[in-house]
Amino acid sequence: MPATRVTVALNAKQSQKAPLLIPASTSLSSIQEVVFKTAKTKLRLKKPTRIFVGGSGQELLSEEDWARHVCDDITLLVSAGEEFVGVRKEGKQHVDSNAECPVYILAQKAPVDELSVTQVETTAHTLPGIIHAVGQPDLHPGTKFPIGAVFVSRKWVHPPLIGSDIGCGMAWYHTKLSRSQVDGDKGKKIAEKLRGLEGSWRKQADREQWLLDRAGSCSAGEQWDSALGTIGAGNHFAEIQVVESSSIPPGSEVELKQDEVILLVHSGSRGYGSILKKYTSGSHISLEEGSQQMQEYMEEHDKACRWAKANRNLIAVRFLSCLEPGEEAWELGRNTPQTGFCDADAISYAKSKIAERQVVDILHNNVQRVKWPPAPPPPSAASMPALEVGLSNVALEPGETAVVEHVYIHRKGAAPTYDPGTNLPLALLPLPGSRATPTIILKPQFTVASSWGLKNALSLAHGAGRSMSRAKALSSLSQKYRNQNLLEPGSGTGTWVICDEKDLVFEEAPDAYKDVYAVSDDLVREGVAEVVGWCQTRVSYKVRNEAR
């Protein structure tokens, strides 16, 4: 038997490869060793642990797998433990995939992991219908698909690119607190007041009332609605922040004033979004426009996004019931042992009052149907205040009309810059760093430099993005901070943290995230955002074990 000629490549960076001739005398049990040795010596992969077949993504685990799959000219992708990067192909490339799809990585200052860039590229070049892909400066690797990425597609929707926390996002609310009530040690008192925020809110009839909006009901049934008004695990949080600096002109339609105390809520659709896992695994990876499945998915997706927005508003009401006692509108935020049903008027009143307090609410995990390409506002808009300037797909040059179509913008950890419902740019967006680093106030920009938002796919970074995986943060930071209390403000950080889950304290430590200023600098350099201020967190609420 002649030797077998294969290519060994890095799973995380598939352009790095080396040829390998596997001698015919090599037994099946030792081929793996030979491949690992090539990855170590030729490709400098320190700890190879898994091998996949390029294209199919088949993992080679047993001698039988090797016997069945290894043949001349195949590529073996070696991984340091991460999942296969790429879309598993059963046969040929999908007829609608686009090997030439442009990919923009908007990061220079912010560090990006090679694996995440490979994930953006392989997704853009293999999934059907993708016409434009962007890695924002907060880009980091996900299990299969990247986070901090945007994919624009024509005629296809890909649920896995959004993930299961559909509708996750961030909302800011004004409060009536003053900075002297939250600065320094006062933050501890405020943290103590945040009680009764875990567990179900009231009865199902009240939840259903809360979940009624202009489009009808977005109730998901008692099983999922019982989580309404709760933040949830992971890196979801609600924070009391102070606006340390703001250059937003006084009287602007959307305003954050210097020294103001605000509430930032980060949560999503809780368990409800996860029911859509049926669309994110197996053969449902891509749904074609017009199909029954895509229609069903989009209906459920839109409902989950409305549920998530209602959830953030209710979380805010529950927080304000602790922070602004005596304020009638927030009374129903409290769960008392006798809590009965509220009347519908009380719920409508609280909903209208919290809407008045809302500064902005954005979704960073969703798919949005928008007109494409974005085009400059009409010349008459030059003198309009920024918020009234729509992006209008009008003449590019006098007499020339853009060919307008609709596309799907998939965001997994990316903030929108524009509201397709109103055709208007969003006025402000939060760019949170971590619980102890600033949250930057961004104003999206639409200029020639970004082809009116085309380059950044009408999106911005949604945070600083992880610089360390959860597992790495847990192992290294629990060592680094072994004898320190991370829940109290260290020198200069000023954040009181409520987090009764020990591992989460380390997984979410500020060191696990990139430098948020590197991220905002990249956005400014690309001409897609302006920095108009920043906030600092005083109290960060993640999870409280009420039984303690």
Ligand X SMILES: Nc1nc2c(ncn2[C@@H]2O[C@H](COP(=O)(O)O)[C@@H](O)[C@H]2O)c(=O)[nH]1
Annotated binding site for GMP: 235-239, 462-465
Structure tokens belonging to residue 501: 């889950």
* C-alpha to C-alpha distance for 411 and 407, rounded to whole angstroms: 13
Beta carbon of residue 435, minimum distance to ligand X (angstroms, whole number): 3
Nearest to 268 by CA among 151, 369, 362: 362
38's contact among ligand X, Mn ion, none, with CB below 5 to 8 A by partner kind, is none
DSSP label of 466? B
**Residue 413, interface with ligand X (CB under 6 A)?**
yes
**Residue 147, interface with Mn ion (CB under 5 A)?**
no
**Residue 434, interface with ligand X (CB under 6 A)?**
yes
Beta carbon of residue 349, minimum distance to ligand X (angstroms, whole number): 30
What are residue 528's phi and psi, to 5 degrees?
-110, -10
Element (H, E) at 246: strand 237-246
Beta carbon of residue 515, minimum distance to ligand X (angstroms, whole number): 10
CB 424 within 8 A of CB 385: no
Closer to ligand X by Cβ: residue 31 or 190: 190
**Residue 439, interface with ligand X (CB under 6 A)?**
yes
**Amino acid (one-letter) located at 150:** V
Q: Which residues are catalytic?
A: 462
Q: Token match 């990585």: residue?
A: 105
Span from 93-101, 145-153, 164-172, 415-423 in contact with Mn ion (CB under 5 A): 164-172
* C-alpha to C-alpha distance for 431 and 360, rounded to whole angstroms: 12
* C-alpha to C-alpha distance for 193 and 538, rounded to whole angstroms: 14
Applying CB under 6 A, what is the total number of residues that bind ligand X? 21
Nearest to 287 by CA among 101, 384, 161, 395: 161
Where does residue 282 fall: left (phi above 0), alpha (psi -120 to 50 degrees), or beta otherwise? left
**Residue 168, interface with Mn ion (CB under 5 A)?**
yes
Closer to Mn ion by Cβ: residue 366 or 450: 366
Closer to Mn ion by Cβ: residue 168 or 256: 168
**Residue 537, interface with ligand X (CB under 6 A)?**
yes
**Residue 522, interface with ligand X (CB under 6 A)?**
no
Residue nearest to Mn ion (CB): 168
Cα dihedral 226, 228, 231, 234, rounded to 10, equals 60
Terminal alpha carbon distance of the chain: 69
Closer to Mn ion by Cβ: residue 463 or 510: 463
Among 237, 372, 452, 541, binds ligand X (CB under 6 A): 237
Span from 56-64, 162-170, 172-180, 493-501 in contact with Mn ion (CB under 5 A): 162-170
**Residue 508, interface with ligand X (CB under 6 A)?**
yes
Omega before residue 373 within 30° of 0, cis? yes
**Residue 366, interface with ligand X (CB under 6 A)?**
no
Residues of this chain, 47-86, that bind ligand X according to CB under 6 A: none
Site residues for ligand X per CB under 6 A: 138, 147, 168, 235, 237, 239, 364, 413, 432-435, 439, 462-465, 508, 513, 537, 540
